[in-house]
Amino acid sequence: MSGQIETQHEVRYSRRRKGQSLVETALFFPILLIIFSALIEVGFWLVDYLSLIDATRNAARFASDGYYYVRDNDTDCQTTRDFYRQTACALLIELAQERPHIVLDTASDDVVVSAVSVEHGVGVTARFPDDNGWSLYGHFTSQISNDEINSRLDLNAPSTGLVIVEVFYHYHQRLKLPWVTPFVPDPILIHTYAIMPLTSAEPTPTPAP
């Protein structure tokens, strides 16, 4: 008899445990869903960010063999010889090959290209075409200051030239989650940059009179 009572007690206890588990799951499921969906949005942002970094590096690598002083007014990527526009075109081509495609908005995004001369023992001595850099769409200027460049350099190193490629891209949230947008700006500005050596921008010694 006592065995039957114990069995019935165990059954009731098991049912209570199962009911409690169902209630806990029902309470926490919305929270888990919110977290999971937010992580998906973060994943979309991260994919675009990594793609932009990759394209920026490849464009800077392409520009490292160019001549910063070559300029023209040709805006066609197929025919221009302009150093800065060629660099921007190389970046746009890279982005077009990404999956999914990343398309810069001409009304808000931008590509900024700068050439820099760095002199041994001095630091940055010149920037081309100017301190603001060359802008593809005219929305941004270079965010990499001369002081920041100098802080990363070994001033005892030989004189060199650098090319800096910067991308300003507004990431628009894919999911538009109502529990994310009140806390995270939409769009989110992504700024990526790459710095590569540029032989043509190396300072040349002034000939003795």
- Whether 209 shows a pLDDT value over 50: the answer reads no
Q: Quick one: pLDDT at residue 119?
A: 94
CB of 35 closer than 8 Å to CB of 169? no
Q: Quick one: pLDDT at residue 10?
A: 53
- Whether 84 shows a pLDDT value over 60: the answer reads yes
Lowest mean pLDDT among 26-30, 34-38, 56-60, 113-117: 26-30
Paired tokens of 34: 């919110």
Lowest mean pLDDT among 15-24, 130-139, 187-196: 15-24
Dump pLDDT digits (tens) for 58-75. Answer: 999 999 999 999 999 999
pLDDT range class, residue 125, cuts 50, 70, 90: very high
- Whether 94 shows a pLDDT value over 60: the answer reads yes
Instruction: Answer whether the bond into residue 30 is a cis peptide, omega within 30°.
Output: no
Paired tokens of 153: 């350099």
Exposed, middle or buried, 89 (CB in 10 Å: 0-12/13-18/19+)?
buried
The residues spanned by each domain of the chain are 5-201
Query: Could you say which DSSP state residue 201 is in?
Result: G
For a pLDDT cut of 90, what percent of the chain falls above it? 67
Task: Give dist(CA 13, CA 119) in Å, integer.
Answer: 80
